[in-house]
Structure 1
Amino acid sequence: MNFDKRKLSINPKVTQQTLINILTIIVGSFLFAIGVNSFMIAGNLGEGGFIGISIILYYAFDISTALSNFILNSLILIVGFKFLGKRAMYYTIFTVPMTSLALWLTETWQVQTDEILINTVFGGLLIGTGIGLILRVGSTTAGTTILAKMANKYMDVNVSYALLFFDLIVITIGLTVMSLEQVLLTVIALYVATKVMDFIIEGMNPKKAITIISEQPDTLGKLINTEIKRGVTIMDGRGFYSKEDKDILYVVINKNQLTRLKRLIKKQDENAFVVVHDVNSVLGNYFI
């Protein structure tokens, strides 16, 4: 019996950007760990996701969050690694032990305050910043991220909604070791973390993509060029019912320009059909 010999090779090429991404993951992991240990656990609060389960185990059985976090995330990574892209998988394999190491090194870092809202806000702020940095470079923290992707594939559930669902389950389980007040404060911290995470991922000036169907495409295109100072792409379209050919305008703008653009469109053509899309990433700066 003959077997084909296959050579397995690992590309040793490491770019400067790769090193920056690794450093970003390290910084993000420590910010995340400080938020968990110094503020959330110090205030007897919880969290969502697998770190929330780790905190519950810590409160109930005094199991180290670093150890339980590593075991839980490693198990789900082994089961669901195929749901991550190649790049995300490699970074996640580094991120999981890195976050656990950071949790272990900062276990004794406790910030004791008389005002629980300080723990809530700053805990959410640091956790959101840490996870945001990790996600921004293309990595994940495994955990509920992989579960959400699995739910999306097999049950056609939106990833964001799936993440929220799993977080709510974890927070609800937290009622077994926390009071209702502490659980509600955890929800506030989770909201703060989510908003900060979105800010870190999208950047200081997130983009919006606008699709415009109007009877005055040329006029609107010129106004967007001159008033909004953005390039506009004209695409060919055709109405399904009317069978009429139409010019469709497509433009990407900064979020803070959206209100102004809407006013401009409404002033010129009240009957224009406008769709606003969230944009996760924009590469290049072409004036199309």
Structure 2
Amino acid sequence: MIKEETMHWREYNKKVILSKYLSILVGNFLCAMALILFLRPGQMIGGGVGGISVLLNTVFGIPLGVSVLLFNLPLMVLSLKVLDRNFILYSTLSMFIFSLYMSLFDFLASYIHITDDVLLSCVFGSILNGAGMGIMFRNGTCQGGLDVVAALTKKLYGINISKVLLGVNGVIITISGFVFSFNRAMYTLIGLFIAYQVLDRIQMGVGQMKQIFIMTNMSKPIARSIMKELHRGVTYLKGTGAYSNQDMDIIYCIVDNHEFVQVRKIVDSIDPEAFMTISETVEVKGRGFSHIQV
């Protein structure tokens, strides 16, 4: 039994490590492509080390891949004794991969032109950037750079990570306003908003489910219909009406977005007086529900 559990844990560990490496490769690819082929041609930047690299390249002509390394290497050295070794390992690998991708797309930019429309560049570049970050965050990796800065300040000074990222990105965007124009800096703000929306969607899970509570005296026929027609599990929760003082079985179930309409029809057909609440869930794991690994 112990041997089986050990083997299962090793297999699980291999899958986790593989997903981390794949997320670093795919996530950084999308981020670099977004920055070089979409945002930079529109004189916009992304947040973080990618945005800093674009600014340094524009003002001083420093190659993008080199500036990524110059910014990240000192941070990695400083964090060696403070942060978790695995975090540093994945961050360092991610830094080198991102640097390579930035150099690659910088070279390809001479041959690839996608659009002159600033709004299209902003929207599609930000979607790709957010998707890349979301893929990495969902699998427990990051791009290095500002994520390491935020982790260090959190560890050493207890400052909230989101506040650090917000403050530093605010400075980067302000500088970009002087380098390019404040019109483009405002586009950058819109782009960051889009990117973080996409990031949240991917990190929390695409395709939110509906959580349903049904208070009714006809719980058994309703539950049977849901299980028969939708093939979804149903849980009974014990409850008592405060006004009626009657005991009842409260139905609790999770369904897909397109299934809750059918649940409502089932409830209305059996007990039109039933009290029902429907809310969105962030993530559902378990039998019958796929756990999205991007």
TM-score, normalised with respect to structure 1: 0.68
After TM superposition, the structure 1 stretch with the greater mean CA deviation from structure 2, 256-265 or 246-255, is 256-265
Q: Judge conservation of contact 1:87–1:138 (CA < 8 Å) in 2.
A: no
Q: Judge conservation of contact 2:208–2:257 (CA < 8 Å) in 1.
A: yes
The 3 A distance-change label for structure 1 pair 99 and 243 is farther
- How far apart are residue 49 of structure 1 and its match? 2.7
Q: 1:1-288 counterparts in 2 under 5 A?
A: 15=14, 18-19=17-18, 21-74=20-73, 78-79=78-79, 90-110=89-109, 111-112=112-113, 113-145=115-147, 147=150, 150=154, 154=158, 167-198=169-200, 200-201=202-203, 206-208=207-209, 210=211, 212=213, 214-216=215-217, 217-218=219-220, 220-235=222-237, 249-258=251-260, 261=263, 268=272, 271-279=275-283, 282-285=285-288
1:108 alignment partner, SS class: helix
1:142 alignment partner, SS class: coil
Question: In the TM superposition, what whole-angstrom CA distance separates every residue of 1:148-171 from its partner, at most 9, and x where no partner exists?
Answer: 8939x94678x5x87666545533
Question: In the TM superposition, what whole-angstrom CA distance separates every residue of 1:173-201 from its partner, at most 9, and x where no partner exists?
Answer: 42222212212222343344344445554
Distance of 1:122 and 1:24 partners within structure 2? 20
TM-score, normalised with respect to structure 2: 0.67
Query: What runs of 5+ residues in structure 2 fail to find an aligned partner?
Result: 1-9, 290-294
Cα RMSD, aligned residues only: 4.5
Distance of 2:97 and 2:129 partners within structure 1? 15
Distance of 1:66 and 1:126 partners within structure 2? 19
Q: Judge conservation of contact 1:45–1:186 (CA < 8 Å) in 2.
A: yes
- How far apart are residue 271 of structure 1 and its match? 4.1
Distance of 1:265 and 1:164 partners within structure 2? 46
Q: Judge conservation of contact 1:129–1:196 (CA < 8 Å) in 2.
A: yes
Q: Judge conservation of contact 1:120–1:186 (CA < 8 Å) in 2.
A: yes
1:251 alignment partner, SS class: strand
Question: In the TM superposition, what whole-angstrom CA distance separates every residue of 1:12-46 from its partner, at most 9, and x where no partner exists?
Answer: x9846644642442233222212211222222211
The 3 A distance-change label for structure 1 pair 66 and 270 is farther
The 3 A distance-change label for structure 1 pair 65 and 226 is same
Distance of 2:159 and 2:94 partners within structure 1? 28
The size of the alignment, in residue pairs, is 269
Query: What runs of 5+ residues in structure 1 fail to find an aligned partner?
Result: 1-10
1:210 alignment partner, SS class: strand
Distance of 1:132 and 1:246 partners within structure 2? 43
2:130 alignment partner, SS class: helix
Question: In the TM superposition, what whole-angstrom CA distance separates every residue of 1:89-134 from its partner, at most 9, and x where no partner exists?
Answer: 5433321221122112322232444332342233223323332333
The 3 A distance-change label for structure 1 pair 202 and 75 is same
